[in-house]
Chain A
């Protein structure tokens, strides 16, 4: 373990985001500047040029060549360290990690952590770019195909069914109905999910999260500085933040099970250790986990040790993860309802956690939460990020 961790040394002093969805009339600049200014207002930042020391932005597309100017230029905040972070679906949470670490290191006082993605400009039929990178001939499955490999194997190993994964969509849509910022605010029935057109068997259309546009921003600082800003009384503390990167081609790894994601398990263990959590299924009040596909959420809650191996489907069916359940998961509606603007998602989850812990959730509110956990999983189960936030002590 590092000599000095991040626990309780970084505070979230303000958050901002906007409605996720198909933002045809807005570009990435519109989305990012609105999210950032919402965060400024929330934090009580009056003069960004004076007060903000550095910024990070998580973006996955397009792949390279855009640099930190893709944040500096959009918000017109020049002459400061600005860095673009790209780490698959954990890009936004990695931007947050960088900002939080800079604060903890004492090299900056107030930092911006943002994420944005403008997917719909590339057309809505799947993530762009799969043709553009990677090896010339080694197969690279689409995102639904990757996660279907896990679903097929999980069905085989745990005996799960289309109904079992379908219940993830039903629960998350039931939650998302209440969230004004969600892309989709429509309940779906189990029958709807099962009868939806097949995308990558066994995952049908309603097992997949949507392509959406969105942005989110957080302002982080030290607890001391947070004391003199708008959320002096209810700023949120970073308890742990961890990222673990595994292979991008798990299909070449003979020991890879496809029923558990090593990246999540390792990131979670690092985060629990830092936060001093020994019983995550009891100590974590609620979680926003990466439900890019319904199967992903079932495996996530096992990898995060909320459910015992093989028991996620049963726990879900018994209501454990419902909004009113023992440990609400994706009470916002998750990626299923917000869609998945890649770089924005991790940052959006942290905005949700912050607002829940402050008791001002925009959608359904968790009752008296103590600790919230956010989790991203990107690539071919390659990159996992886990962040745990708690209330001001």
Chain B
């Protein structure tokens, strides 16, 4: 029997964390421990999904991927498929299966089930599932305590499988949980206690009961249970009711960085399998307008351990967040204040035409003089040779050749400058990018500084989401394994 399951995983957490006590101070609320992860003002669910996708794919050839399923309740577009934008930046092929699964936090597990079925039917071998959410909670509401921003990805395939999918069960339920009408800016909820009892508990129990009955598995034999829950204690309670051993139930990272929506269950799963052994059974449960219950099996402990060398994952990312100094910087990063924003004249048609270098980050090598350069010109910028080039993918790391710390953004003066950097990329090519995710540019930015490129939202010209690459300080200073613990 061909095993279908998880081949690789990846994650992305934004650089910033707002401690809940800052929210408490701002609004005179009772304080809750921990914090929420906060995306920067040039990040959204698309850009974070791309980062998680890059982390998941690692050194894999993107051409080997047959599908991209994107799950989010906060897609930047409600009409226009976000998966295609993400696939472009990940340099996936055009003949892939793509979809957005939106409107429920259960999207990420629905996506895994769809990927499983598509592969099982023989229509694909390798499907990338990415979940990302950037919930915008209403200021001065308890929702601010709940939601963190983040992304997670799993590659589902039929070879090199590390975690085999043994089966799954689902329920669909018109639960009164959180909702957002198409005209709403902020998420809403009616009665939390009611949802916990009749939404979360009932659906999780029903889905897992059906699963274990179908697979003839005793829940007491499950070594690890990764269960989505909006409340830090809910998973332990329902897990016990399902019949898991209490030490099998993975604790919730809710307090640590908040509920990251569609990405949350995948993050809990990554945390749960950290120390799993060969043949361990892993339960994975997700919730949102019903529940999905999965049974997974670890095929090879060493292969699972090896994944930790291939991607940063949630374990790597969550340890590299830094606390925000103030609640006001959170408001600015989340664009919760209605200030005028810099924009430019844009032509989505030009962006489309230049897809190869805008999204996919290709440049060219001149076959006459050998110069690697960016973007793709008809003539070589050094020797002028016409149409004598090969397209090459640029590396996403490089060193600053020169820079300025610019206090003017679109003619408006800002006290904290934007570093604008000329970067010599590794293996050739020179690019010009703004720097993001940098707190003290006056101290940090220098000639020769190592930077990495990151795909970000840049402006709303033509009422379109315009994205482009920026640079940022290298996030992981040590190798992947050492970042853990």
The residues of B that contact A130 with a CB separation of less than 8 Å are 410-411
**Distance to closest chain A CB from B185 (angstroms):** 26
- Taking A201-B407, A258-B422 as known contacts, 10 extra A-B pairs with beta carbons closer than 8 A to each other, sorted by chain A number, are A123-B411, A135-B354, A136-B350, A136-B351, A136-B466, A137-B358, A141-B406, A148-B405, A153-B402, A253-B373
> Which of B158-166, B201-209, B424-432 lines the interface with chain A?
B424-432
**Taking each of B406, B434, B447, which has the highest tally of chain A beta carbons within 10 Å of its own beta carbon?**
B406
Given known A153-B447, A254-B371, A258-B422, contact A145–B402 (CB-CB < 8 A): no
- Pick the residue among B342, B348, B374, B402 that contacts A156 (CB under 8 A): B402
In the complex, chain B residues whose CB is within 8 Å of the CB of A256: 430
Given A145-B420, A254-B429, check contact A152 B382 (CB 8 Å).
Answer: no
The reply to whether A139 and B434 form a contact with Cβ atoms under 8 Å apart is yes
Is B467 in the interface zone, CB < 8 Å from A? Answer: yes
List which B414-444 residues lie within 8 A (CB) of chain A. 417, 420, 422, 424, 428-434, 442
- On whether A152 and B403 interact (CB within 8 A), knowing A136-B466, A139-B432, the answer reads yes
By Cβ-Cβ distance, the 10 closest A-B pairs, closest first, are A148-B404, A201-B405, A251-B432, A153-B402, A137-B468, A136-B346, A200-B406, A125-B411, A145-B406, A200-B404
Cα separation A227 to B432 with both chains bound (whole Å): 54
Beta-carbon contact of B432 and A126 below 8 Å:
no
- The complex places the Cα of A152 from the Cα of B407 at a distance, in Å, of 15
Contact A142/B406 with A132-B345, A153-B447, A201-B442 known, Cβ cut-off 8 Å: yes
| A255 at the binding interface (Cβ < 8 Å) | yes
Residues 103-141 of A contacting B (Cβ, < 8 Å): 123, 125-126, 130-139, 141
In the assembled complex, the CB of B451 is this many whole angstroms from the nearest CB of chain A, namely 14
- Binary contact track A17-42/B, C-beta < 8 Å → 1, others 0: 00000000000000000000000000
Q: Could you tell me which residues of chain A, from 151 to 210, have a CB within 8 Å of some CB in chain B?
A: 151-153, 156, 197-203
For A151, A152, A256, the residue with the greatest tally of chain B CB atoms inside 10 Å of its CB is: A152
Assess A253 versus B345: contact at CB under 8 Å? Given A153-B447, A156-B402.
no
A255, B384: Cα distance in complex, Å: 13
Interface residues in A224-262 by Cβ distance below 8 A to B read 247, 249, 251-256, 258
Does A333 sit within 8 A of B, measured CB to CB? no
B280 → chain A closest CB, angstroms:
46
Chain A residues within 8 Å of B408, by CB: 125-126, 142, 144-145, 199-200
The interface centre, meaning the residue of B407, B462, B467 with most chain A CB atoms within 10 A of its CB, is: B407
A-B contact pairs, 28 of them (CB 8 A): A123-B411, A125-B412, A125-B413, A126-B408, A126-B411, A131-B410, A132-B344, A132-B345, A136-B344, A136-B346, A136-B348, A136-B461, A136-B462, A139-B420, A139-B434, A145-B404, A145-B408, A149-B420, A152-B404, A152-B447, A156-B402, A201-B417, A249-B432, A252-B375, A253-B381, A254-B371, A254-B429, A256-B430
